[in-house]
Amino acid sequence: MIRSSPPSELRQVPAPLPRYFRGPGQSPLRLTPAMGTNGSADAWAVDPSSSLALTLAAQSVYFIRGADRRPFRWYSRLPARGLEAWEIGADAAYSWSYHLPYEERNWLAFSDGGQVIWRLAASGVTGADKRPIVRSVTFVGTPNRKDVGSAEAIKHIAMAQVIYDADADPIAWLGALFGGYSRDRSFAQLDPPMRRYGVHGIGHGGVLNDQRLVRLWETEPWIRNMREAPAAPAKETV
């Protein structure tokens, strides 16, 4: 359950990057990485000089980090029962996002980090500006679980897209198995539909951590989709 009272403001900054990696003439796009289970090993998000971070920065896309220069983290012990981990993670994501401008409430969610963002969006909460707490989310290798409220969450997200291996992803299959298994890694059951990108041979997260596959961010429409996410009106309060 997302807390009902507004969280305290957090001080956040874009990750520091060398000057020569700044994108040419594009307005900055900022997003937060939601790492997978035991995400301390996700170098693509933790290391500001990872192949992904530098590839994105060349297109003026930057990860938001805390004032301590660390990325967003969630309590990632998988629950034996219920939704404890996703709920705690969603509450942390709410605190992280609440005071961010709507244009910066973008997420890049890997594997079970995506369950946290589903739960956050499904709650229907808003940020300090009364706009939806999630502007856009890009899922990579996120297991398609039926117990996280994705059918409700998709209604509160301006742009959602999923990148998945078009051949097989055993890790995502196992992740979905214990949460109301769905064989479809593309989330085709959702309405309104997500933008779906099945890519052959990327495994569970190759587009995040394999230097050869990271280059797909230069040619695929994923970043453009984030930039073009529609604006959301503020919710009326009574």
Residue 3 or 32, more confident? 32
Spatial separation of the C-alpha atoms in residues 190 and 188, rounded to whole Å = 6
Domain that holds residue 77: 29-227
* DSSP notation for 178-220: TTTB-S-TT-TT-SSPPEEEEETT-TTTHHHH-HHHHTHHHHS
Rounded CA-CA distance 131/129 in Å is: 5
pLDDT in tens, 116-128: 999 999 999 999 9
In a domain, 20, yes or no: no
Question: Number of folded domains in the chain?
Answer: 1
| pLDDT, the chain, mean | 83
Is the residue at 12 inside a domain? no
CATH number at 77 reads 3.40.50.1820
